[in-house]
Amino acid sequence: MQSDPISRALSKFPVATLGHLPTPLEPMPRLSEFCGSASLYIKRDDCTGLAFGGNKIRQLSFYLGDALQSGADTILITGATQSNYVRCAAAASAKLGLECHVQLEDRVPKYDHAYKNSGNVLLDHLFGASVSYYTEGAGEDEAGADRQLDELADRLREEGRSPYVVHLSTGHKPVGGLGYVGAAGEILDQIVEQQLDVDAIVVASGSGHTHAGLVVGLKLADCTIPVKGICVRRAAALQQPRVFGLCREIEGMMGIDPVVDESDVRVDDAFLAPGYGKLNPPTIEALKCAARYEGLVVDPVYTAKSMAGAMSLARATPAGKNILYVHTGGGPGVFGYENDLTELLASGT
Ligand SMILES: *Cc1c(COP(=O)(O)O)cnc(C)c1O
């Protein structure tokens, strides 16, 4: 199979079984017709199964595999208030019988009741996670948020517990990226089976673990389909070297020779403004079109932006070509953004 080199390279890593895989890969005929040129397909990684799914389930399979192997009893993780990662970590910990401590960061200046309490936050509490907050250096202070989490881990260690911190800032191994090396294999096998010629893949690029993992996986299997990462947090000039660096680290973790060239890492920040977690007109269009042409929920922070990128690429690509959009999940976020979305729908825009 096309994915064999990938399976071999991943076989040495401990994996916690969390998701329902493989996720479907299917056409989006009505959205394609609306865009009016190339055909759009979707990889349904919003359907990874556990706790409303999303890309974090594949990533956590590797983190929690590592955590279980190291004898951890408590998982620690930090993220934005409406973090999907945090919600998935809380659910995965519950499923595996581990305690979970989540730290929520004031990354988006939104303080309404739904944002602070509904959506992912409601689920964090439901899954029984203990919750603390990081309010300093809001925005781009990844290292500070991780430092505060490490201090908590130290205190838990003194109390005799065995904490495992899921570090997402640069300078830590991008373990979660391995989940998307595996996803690349899944995609390759599916497109062979469906006899589908994919001309480009579009995916959200946040921490970059998903984007980097996909690129490494595809290149490892000798596949040259270009992957376009849609920036959701940082400008392209920052995101490109970040993702390329992550590719090198993922190759290093797997112990393979470098397979990714700098030119393989393509990023587009045309849908980022006005910034992380904030809507713009193409993002609003994508959110509504995904819902109304395909019955899909895409979220305001990540997947509506990447969907806007996929729609834009489909419009700019000749008919007969095929664009694969990777849906990375985030559905519960719409309830956190209830106020904004209600207002948008009422205004009829
Ligand atoms: C986290 C997240 C992303 C971005 O993934 P990274 O690996 O951080 O780049 C995209 N979509 C959704 C829904 C997410 O929760």
What pLDDT is attached to residue 124?
A: 98
Distance CA 54, CA 176 (A): 13
What pLDDT is attached to residue 258?
A: 98
Same domain, 44 and 63: no
What pLDDT is attached to residue 346?
A: 87
Structural domain total, the chain: 2
Nearest atom, ligand 1, residue 206 CA: 9
Same domain, 41 and 178: yes
Q: Which amino acid is at 319?
A: A
Site to probe by mutation for ligand 1, drawn from 56, 233, 267, 268 as the one with most ligand atoms within 8 Å of Cβ, is 56
Distance CA 298, CA 285 (A): 11
- Is any atom of ligand 1 closer than 6 Å to the C-beta of 250? no
Same domain, 41 and 147: no
Q: What is the CATH number of the domain that holds 289?
A: 3.40.50.1100
Same domain, 179 and 241: yes
Same domain, 206 and 157: no
pTM over 0.75, yes/no: yes
Nearest to residue 43, comparing CAs of 264, 175, 196, 234?
A: 196
Residue 349 CA from chain centroid, whole number: 28
pLDDT digit string (tens) for 31-44? Answer: 999 999 999 999 99
Q: Given 32, 39, 61, 83, which residue is catalytic? A: 83
Helix, strand or coil, per DSSP, at residue 296: coil
Site to probe by mutation for ligand 1, drawn from 210, 276, 334 as the one with most ligand atoms within 8 Å of Cβ, is 210
Domain containing 251 equals 4-54+174-347
- Is any atom of ligand 1 closer than 6 Å to the C-beta of 204? yes
What pLDDT is attached to residue 239?
A: 97
Same domain, 293 and 192: yes
Same domain, 183 and 318: yes
pLDDT digit string (tens) for 115-168? Answer: 999 999 999 999 999 999 998 665 567 788 889 999 999 999 999 999 999 998
Distance CA 317, CA 297 (A): 24
Buried b (16+ CB within 10 A) or exposed e, 314-336: beebeeeebbbbbbbbbbbbbbb
Q: Which amino acid is at 255?
A: G
The CA 43 to ligand 1 mean position distance, Å, reads: 14
Nearest atom, ligand 1, residue 203 CA: 10
The residue with tokens 């689920």 is: 123
Last residue of a domain, one of 166, 198, 225: 166
Same domain, 44 and 74: no
93 is catalytic: no
Same domain, 210 and 301: yes
What pLDDT is attached to residue 139?
A: 55
The CA 112 to ligand 1 mean position distance, Å, reads: 23
Beta bridge partners of 26: 42
Handedness of CA 131, 106, 276, 344 (dihedral sign): positive
Last residue of a domain, one of 107, 138, 166: 166
The CA 158 to ligand 1 mean position distance, Å, reads: 33
- Is any atom of ligand 1 closer than 6 Å to the C-beta of 328? yes
What pLDDT is attached to residue 200?
A: 98
Average pLDDT per run of 10 along the chain, which is 349 residues long?
94 97 98 98 98 98 98 97 97 98 87 94 98 76 86 97 92 95 98 98 97 98 98 97 97 97 98 92 96 97 97 98 98 95 84
